[in-house]
Amino acid sequence: MNSRGQAAACPLIVYGNRIGTLMEYFLELFFGGLTRGSIYALIALGYTMVYGIIELINFAHGEIYMIGAFTGLIVAGVLGALGFPGFAILVLAVIVAVIYSAAYGFTIEKIAYKPLRGAPRLSPLISAIGMSIFLQNYVMLAQTSDFLPFPSLIPEFKIPGLTGIITSSEVVIVAVTVVVCVALTLFIKYGKLGKAMRATAQNRKMAQLVGISVNTVISATFVIGSSLAAVGGVLIASHIGQINYYIGFIAGIKAFTAAVLGGIGSIPGAMLGALILGLTEAFATGYVSSDYEDVFAFALLVLILIFRPAGIMGKQPTQKV
């Protein structure tokens, strides 16, 4: 009786290799979910922006993320050998990965999608799947099929009051994502190119007629989406500590799910969808079982799509009268 009362007042549970209160456990799961959601968001934005402009699901986008992570690994290896400090390596790795992935995104659009612009919608979709398989195998052959260790580039620092609950790399990932999302939102809202992107997404023909170069806008969309994925690739690789040629597939599918959940084509939708998906997965893993992580993620997707077929923030199709 007495011991039960104590347990209710101050429930201590064992998780991982530590003991803490339920609240601490909840917070740890919450921050883990935020981190996951952040990475999903960085990738999902690329899916949703490309879909918004050319109504194509760019299945090669996950591979862009993977290439970003590999570029980061190579840069980190070289700079590490040259004795650069950790933080400088992180910044340079992200910058080089962004440039590299952006170049890949730009080129993929020119090679695999642009020639098919007038074709039936299935053709570029198949082309995208082909590009995805090609890039996976290209990286596998050029690098290796084994998991490679990725150095921890994010410096360790203490977060007052939350030690052991949230790691410094989680803080950095979430902070970077928030900054990127705010910057992107402002750019789309007020930037000249951002406005041109919205206009092109809403009516491509009219965009041409006011003098917007549609090709430039499409290229810019791929470059921006790929850059965001590269940022995510380097950060998460450093957080998890290993990469291989296949990481883009799973991350890509999850991020795509997040984009659909939020309403594909909608930028705030992708951010929200990613956050919801990340948190759901984290709590499902923590409170139920890690075996059910994907079950919960996709059950949530099904549930939301039943009630809002176009996603949470997607445009619900309206009847034209």
Partner 1 sequence: MSKMLELKNIDTYYGNIQALYNVSLHINHGEIITLIGGNGAGKSTTLMTICGVLSPRNGSVVYEELDITGMKAEKVVSRGICQVPEGRLIFPELSISENLDMGAFLRKDKDGIKHDRNYAYELFPILYERRKQMGGNLSGGEQQMLAIARALMARPRLLLLDEPSMGLAPLIVKQIFEIITKINKESGTTIFLVEQNANLALKIGHRGYVMENGKIVMTDTCDTLLANEDVKRAYLGL
Shortest Å, Cβ 121 to partner 1 = 17
Nearer Cβ to partner 1, position 117 or 195? Answer: 195
Alpha helices in the chain (DSSP H): 2-9, 22-54, 61-81, 86-108, 122-142, 168-190, 192-202, 204-209, 214-240, 247-262, 267-283, 293-307
Instruction: Report if residue 320 touches partner 1, rule: CB under 8 A.
Output: no
Query: For the packed helices 22-54 and 267-283, what is the interaxial angle rounded to 10 degrees?
Result: 150
Q: Which of residues 114 and 198 has its CB atom nearest to partner 1 in the complex? A: 198
Minimal distance in Å, beta carbon 205 to partner 1? 7
**54 interacts with partner 1 by CB under 8 A:** no
The residue (of 92 and 195) whose beta carbon lies closer to partner 1 is 195
CB of 206 to partner 1, least distance (A): 4
One-letter amino acid at 30 equals: F
Using CB under 8 A as the binding rule, whether residue 114 contacts partner 1 is answered as: no
116 binds partner 1 (CB under 8 A): no
Q: How far is CA 198 from CA 34, 265, 272, 317, in A?
A: 28, 10, 19, 18
107 contributes a contact to partner 1 by CB under 8 A: no
Which H or E run contains 56? none
Distance CA 74, CA 35 (A): 24
User: Quick one: 228 exposed, middle or buried, by C-beta within 10 A (0-12, 13-18, 19+)?
Assistant: buried
Q: Check residue 115 for interaction with partner 1 (CB under 8 A).
A: no
Asked if residue 61 lies in contact with residue 252, where contact means CB atoms within 8 angstroms, the answer is: yes
The CB-of-105 to partner 1 minimum distance in angstroms stands at 23
Taking the least distance from each CB to partner 1, the nearer of 6 and 213 is 213
Which residues, numbered 206-235, are part of the site for partner 1 (CB under 8 A)? 206-213
Nearest distance from C-beta of residue 5 to partner 1, angstroms: 58
Beta bridge partners of 27: none
Rounded CA gap, 117 and 98, in Å?
A: 26
What is the closest distance, in whole angstroms, from the C-beta atom of residue 131 to partner 1 in the complex?
A: 27
Helices 22-54, 61-81: axis angle to 10 degrees equals: 120
The Cα 219–Cα 193 span in angstroms is 11
- Closest CB to partner 1 among residues 1, 209: 209
Nearer to partner 1, 10 or 209 (CB): 209
* Residue 123 burial by Cβ neighbours in a 10 Å radius (0-12, 13-18, 19+): middle
CB of 55 to partner 1, least distance (A): 16
Q: Which is nearer to partner 1, 78 or 116 (CB)?
A: 116
As measured in angstroms, the least distance from the Cβ of 196 to partner 1 is: 7
By CB under 8 A, tell whether 308 contacts partner 1: no
Residues 150-209 that bind partner 1 (CB under 8 A): 192, 195-196, 198-199, 202-203, 205-209
- Could you tell me how many residues of this chain bind partner 1 (CB under 8 A)? 16
Contact set with partner 1 (CB under 8 A):
192, 195-196, 198-199, 202-203, 205-213
